[in-house]
Amino acid sequence: MTGAVATKPDKPVTGPAIILVEPQLGENIGAAARAMLNCGLTELRLVRPRDGWPNPKAVSASAGADWVVDNAQVFRNTREAISDLHLVYATTARSRDMVKPVYTPSGAASEIRKEIALNRKVGILFGRERSGLTNHDVMQTQGIITAPLNPAYSSLNLGQSVLLIAWEFLKTADTTPEIDAFIGDGELAPQSDVQGLINHLNEELDAASFYRSPEQRPTMQQNLHNIFARARLTEQEAKTLRGVVARLAALRRQLKS
């Protein structure tokens, strides 16, 4: 349908945050916002939009979904944009040299619905129009979403990509999610806690001269990121691991003195 003007929802549907990483054109941001509101999603996050923010072209391209555009949050980098989220999914058509679960849009939508039913905050990353997401972006996520499109021509624009995922999420609304207490009584740790653990571990590994070769350092740090991303740590597990790192570091310093 075309020509309809959307108004501010009385009760926005609880759904995943849509995170656009370094979007280039305001028109594309507006098209993504329009797709979101079509499917009842309202939380838009932007990481370093190329043409600055706010952008009047985004408002006009949103075709009435200006409430989504006006309330978009802007972040300096992907890490900040996902810091309060419990789970993050990356949309990408390219194979990655990482061990992560890969979902179809419908499979991801079902998983996201279950997580939200457990009051967990979920986000979905969409990459740059020309180059998509970097490995650094993807390594911070817990899963990958790939649409089974025509392998000879699988290119989608930003608005289409958001609509595809958002529509699959909307379709799950009539399905009662199975509540599976995957982590027992614990709550998943927000990404800021996980990143704090990784930073702490890296500091102590540096102090222990673990990274012997500068060339190996980026790959080894990426491996650490992926290990903890796959682990789906609870808040208590993250605290326990930080305590373990701190205790081992203290013992190392005692042995050196």
243 shares a domain with 136 = no
Share of the chain above pLDDT 90, in %: 70
Nearest by Cα to 96 from 129, 138, 124, 127: 138
Mean pLDDT lowest among 52-56, 122-126, 134-138, 180-184: 180-184
168 shares a domain with 197 = no
Judge whether 130 lies within some domain.
yes
Helices (H), 145-190: 158-171
pLDDT, tens digit (0-9, with 9 covering 90-100), for 106-163:
999 999 999 999 999 999 999 998 889 999 999 999 999 999 999 888 889 999 999 9
pLDDT in the model for residue 6: 45
Residue ending a domain, choose from 142, 174, 206: 174
pLDDT, tens digit (0-9, with 9 covering 90-100), for 200-222:
999 999 898 888 888 888 999 99
- Structural domain span for residue 74: 17-174
Split into its structural domains, the chain has a count of: 2
Judge whether 12 lies within some domain.
no
pLDDT in the model for residue 202: 92
74 shares a domain with 115 = yes
Residue ending a domain, choose from 174, 204, 224: 174
Residue 54: cis peptide before it, omega within 30 degrees of 0: yes
216 shares a domain with 135 = no
Residue ending a domain, choose from 174, 208, 235: 174
* 3-state secondary structure (DSSP) of residue 74: strand
Taking residues 71-90, what's their average pLDDT?
97
Banded pLDDT at 1 (limits 50, 70, 90): very low
Nearest by Cα to 245 from 190, 206, 187: 206
CATH of the domain at 132: 3.40.1280.10
Judge whether 11 lies within some domain.
no
112 shares a domain with 197 = no
Rg (CA), the chain: 20
DSSP 146: -
pLDDT in the model for residue 96: 75
User: What pTM was computed for the model?
Assistant: 0.80
Judge whether 220 lies within some domain.
yes
